[in-house]
């Protein structure tokens, strides 16, 4: 949103106009700086964990003073929460929104899994704050833990809705429990991350895809099994 200049007929000294314009410009610059700090913080957090993040380390990376970084967040906790929100926004952008362009039912559910798999494959090298954060904050109650857990829950709930839609569309069996299906899919992603990143076991991506196909085969309706959508090979 741009700030309109004041009309000429209003008799005001020029100073406030310049001041409003410069305030707007400085606010915009402030937001850009904050976004750049959050971006750097997210990069750091995926490697060293959210708990490893400190205003000091970030100031060093950003070539800023500690007080300069601090001014944008007010606390280390607020910085951590901003990182969780940024991660959430990127996850939605990469994993969720593209899947919404696919038709409801099995095609959308498959797309959600494929995008999630793709993101997890990339994170085999970098780390994932939904996974490292769960270990760091599983016994640290507070707003950072809440932000993380809410973010993961939102995604799992979206997955659950996609399963319900697939069931309602007749692509999955009528009796299935969406929480059960999502639990099993979540397990595949966690096993992929653990075995590929920590144990460096080759073939983990193929195993996760095979297991997902197995889940669909188990919960798929016999009618859908004969339809082309369910036969589509998984990436």
For residue 142, state whether it binds a second copy (rule: CB under 8 A): no
Q: Do the Cβ atoms of 155 and 91 come closer than 8 Å?
A: yes
Between 97 and 183, name the residue whose CB sits nearer to a second copy: 183
Q: How many whole angstroms separate alpha carbon 44 and alpha carbon 49?
A: 7
* The binder of a second copy chosen from 17, 149, 158, 164 (CB under 8 A): 149
Tokens of 146: 């809440």
Between 97 and 194, name the residue whose CB sits nearer to a second copy: 194
Quote the least distance from Cβ 184 to a second copy, whole Å: 5
Q: How many whole angstroms separate alpha carbon 71 and alpha carbon 213?
A: 49
CB-based burial of residue 74 (10 Å sphere; 0-12 exposed, 13-18 middle, 19+ buried)?
A: exposed
* The binder of a second copy chosen from 139, 222, 228, 231 (CB under 8 A): 139
Site string for a second copy, 86-125 (x = CB under 8 A): ----------------------------------------
Between 89 and 135, name the residue whose CB sits nearer to a second copy: 135
Q: Do the Cβ atoms of 170 and 223 come closer than 8 Å?
A: yes
Angle, alpha carbons 88-171-106 (nearest 5°): 30
For residue 160, state whether it binds a second copy (rule: CB under 8 A): no
- How many residues bind a second copy, per CB under 8 A? 38
For residue 7, state whether it binds a second copy (rule: CB under 8 A): no
Residues facing 220 on adjacent strands = 172
Quote the least distance from Cβ 33 to a second copy, whole Å: 29
* The binder of a second copy chosen from 214, 225, 226, 232 (CB under 8 A): 214
- Count, residues in the chain: 235
Q: 197-221 burial by CB neighbour count: b if 16+ within 10 A, else e? A: beeeeeebbebbbebbeebbeebbb
Q: Give the end-to-end CA distance of the chain in Å, rounded to a whole number.
A: 41
Site string for a second copy, 177-206 (x = CB under 8 A): --xx--xx-xxx-xx--xx-xxx---xx--
3-state DSSP assignment of residue 220: strand
Q: Point out which span in 77-85, 92-100, 131-139, 160-168 binds a second copy (CB under 8 A).
A: 131-139
Contacts to a second copy by CB under 8 A: 47, 49, 127, 131-132, 134-139, 149, 152-153, 156, 179-180, 183-184, 186-188, 190-191, 194-195, 197-199, 203-204, 207-208, 210-211, 214, 217-218
């Amino acid at each position: 949103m741009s700030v309109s200049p004041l009309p000429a007929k209003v008799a005001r000294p020029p100073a406030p106009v310049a001041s409003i314009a410069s305030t707007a410009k400085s606010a915009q610059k402030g937001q850009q700086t904050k976004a750049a700090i959050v971006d750097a913080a997210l990069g750091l957090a995926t490697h060293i964990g959210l708990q490893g993040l400190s205003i000091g380390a970030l100031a060093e990376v950003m070539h800023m003073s500690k007080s300069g970084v601090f001014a944008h967040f007010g606390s280390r906790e607020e910085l951590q929460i901003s990182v969780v929100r940024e991660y959430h926004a990127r996850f939605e952008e990469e994993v969720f929104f593209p899947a919404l362009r696919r038709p409801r039912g099995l095609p959308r559910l498959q797309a959600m899994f494929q995008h999630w798999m793709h993101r997890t494959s990339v994170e085999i090298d970098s780390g994932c704050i939904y996974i490292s954060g769960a270990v760091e904050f599983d016994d640290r109650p507070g707003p950072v833990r809440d932000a993380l857990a809410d973010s993961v829950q939102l995604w799992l709930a979206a997955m659950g809705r996609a399963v319900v839609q697939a069931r309602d569309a007749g692509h999955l069996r009528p009796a299935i429990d969406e929480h059960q299906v999502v639990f099993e899919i979540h397990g595949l992603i966690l096993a992929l991350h653990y075995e590929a990143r920590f144990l460096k076991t080759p073939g983990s991506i193929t195993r996760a895809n095979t297991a997902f196909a197995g889940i669909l085969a188990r919960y798929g309706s016999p009618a859908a099994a004969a339809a082309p959508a369910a036969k589509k090979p998984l990436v």
